[in-house]
A and B are shown apart, each in its own frame.
Chain A
Amino acid sequence: MTNIQKSGFQEAARKAFFQGGNGGQMQDTERVAVGALGLGLLILGLGGGAGRRLLVGGLGLGLTAVAVRGSNPLATAIKVEQNNAGQTLISEAVTVNKNAAELYDVWRDLDKLPNLMSHLQSVVVLSEKRSRWTVKAPLGSVSWEAEITADEPGKRLAWASLPGSSIDNSGEILFRPAPGGRGSEVVVRLKYRAPLGTAGVVAARIAGQEPAQQLRDDLMRFKREQELGFAPTTQGQSSGRAGGAK
């Protein structure tokens, strides 16, 4: 599953953006794919520690049930929002203890974005408005060109992929002062067409490889980078597991 959260841009009012939210009816192929994934997770869930067993097994059970029923309540349950055009809509927000102008400046520096976004391989600025985006994908990488469609310094940035891009996507990021001197609220809204439709989104989300989750992770990483200057970690700490690290 490719990750496209900070790709494309398009000027779009919020209403237009989220209109026609819909859990989606499943196609037969989709049912088969979801069912297989559900069974796979169920089997996977039988191994591992108690926490993983419960989480993965539970989700596996849910997916299997979804496939059997042929509707996709899970898409609603895990808040996969789609519009009538079959595009997946996601939004996420985080409060960062810094002022909006500063945060906007960090974001506007497009070719530095891969430092903030772990799934982004590179952004090459081609001109004032145009840039080339490359994201890591399971089989190599995917890239496309995007255009800035709105730019309000200190407040908002919107973008859209150019026609003919490998992944059709757009989005916007808003920066606004948080009440009570708590810094700024950063809101990101994205719209993209997911490979495999709803099932693809559900499957990717369960595998932790879906843009909504990656966006959450990236915004938290952004917040921590801005507030602390680093990300907290336990990677490499001592433990009693083989190799002694995790």
Chain B
Amino acid sequence: MKAVLWQGTNHVSVETVPDPTLLLPSDAIVRVSSTAICGSDLHLLDGFIPSMEKGDILGHEFMGEVVEVGRDVKTLKVGDRVVIPFNIACGTCDYCQRGLFSACDNSNPNHRMAEALYGATSGGGLFGYSHLYGGYAGGQAQYVRVPFADVGGFKIETDLPDEQVLFLTDIFPTGYQAAENCNIVRGRDVVAVFGAGPVGQFAARSAQMLGAAKVIIVDRFPERLRLAAEAGIETINYEKEDVLIALKEATGGRGPDHVIDAVGLEAHGHGPGALLDTAQQKMKLTFDRITALRWAILSCAKGGTVSMPGVYGGLVDKLPLGAAFAKGLTFKMGQTHTHRYIRPLLAHIEAGDIDPSFVITHRAALADAPQLYKTFRDKHDGCIKVVLNPWGEAAQGVKQA
């Protein structure tokens, strides 16, 4: 089969590799019909995530059709159309049973590696996201092995097109969880979202769905701000105005009741001293990224929530913790418990509350992935979200939406 491979920093390629096979009786094999490039894949491209190995198959947003099931798989059968959460959960451990699927105790075979970096017990495995997170082969490929298929395979029984359900695998639930974590009071609360990338877009629209009186989004790319404005979201371009002053003015001096940091920290790696050095060498980048979190804390209203769907990996300093304390802020963060949200959000899509395909700007064949990784990274060509067809004609060129 064809698959997108990580070959080293700033180098991905599309190659032919062996088809996946069932490794355990609880596995299924899925023929991928659509797969996307996620903003967090760019951390892999940039080389900020340790423990990638040359030849790893990338991708954690994908869906398709079940073509093979292990003998212990009970709820899925060949021919089922499924979406697959980007995180892998066993469904059995105490965390899974409490709905904390991303904290799964059992799905990461490399738990020792993650424990060494983060202490305590590790989080669950992720598709196509380094050996720290289990080293599972990803879904930017024609076929993918899905472990714990009964837990991680969600049947789509309606005829909604791929593009409307694909983002249930990651960015839609991630944005939604970020908004849900704010405990928005309907018709009263103002929510500000930092970062108008795909997750920020979904966080902002989710805040609307959850009844926010007003949603404001902050970014610097006009095309992203325009996309948000189409949904009635107010926009602030932080390159054109002072973001703290603008937010104060937009909220009558109170500040937003809740703030969502959908930017995260680019310099992801940390842990043993040398890893920290690497991060510090990139200090300028790290610095830039922390700015979003700093703004979030400084702008948030008293008693508000700072919700952080953006990925932070290491140590952060010069955090205005005094401001956070003085205002009595609540912090909520962490990987998405994707499994929890798929059915309720699918119901929203079916009801016509939201059409998640609004974020897609680029559609192409899998073979075009190397070029599109760069387009997406550099925000060229108005690129906000890329969807790849693993079965499309190679070198057909990139079509804009």
Contact = CB atoms under 8 A, between A and B. Distances in A.
B106 A238 contact: no
Contact of A239 (B55, B105, B125): B55
A63 to B, nearest CB: 13
Interface residues of B, number: 56
A241 B54 contact: yes
Contacts of A216: 112, 115
Contacts of A239: 5, 17, 53, 55-57, 137
A228 B92 contact: yes
A106 interface: no
A152 B352 CA distance: 61
Contact of A58 (B51, B131, B273): B273
B369 to A, nearest CB: 13
Given A227-B90, A230-B26, A239-B56, A58 B109 contact: no
Closest 5 pairs between A and B when the two form their complex, measured CB to CB: A240-B55, A241-B55, A51-B50, A51-B51, A58-B274
Interface residues of A, number: 37
Question: What's the dominant secondary structure at chain B's contact region?
Answer: loop
B122 to A, nearest CB: 9
Interface in B51-67: 51-57
B21 interface: yes
B24 A233 contact: yes
Interface string B1-26: 10101010100010101111101111
A77 to B, nearest CB: 11
B47 to A, nearest CB: 6
Most chain-A Cβ atoms within 10 A of its Cβ — which of B24, B52, B132? Answer: B24
A239 to B, nearest CB: 5
A223 B55 CA distance: 31
A50 B272 contact: no
Given A182-B94, A237-B137, A230 B112 contact: no
Contacts of B400: none
A213 interface: yes
Contact of A240 (B23, B56, B105): B56
Interface in B279-331: none
A236 interface: yes
A51 B125 CA distance: 18
A246 B13 CA distance: 19
Contacts of A240: 3, 5, 7, 13, 15, 17, 54-57
Interface of A: 49-52, 54-55, 57-59, 61, 95, 97, 182-183, 213, 216-217, 220, 223-224, 227-228, 230-241, 244-246
Interface in B119-144: 125, 130-132, 134-137, 141
B106 A244 contact: no
Contacts of A213: 112
A8 B344 CA distance: 53
B278 interface: yes
Contact of A233 (B57, B109, B278): B109
B274 A244 contact: no
Contacts of B7: 240
A52 B110 CA distance: 14
Given A234-B136, A237-B145, A238-B57, A223 B92 contact: no
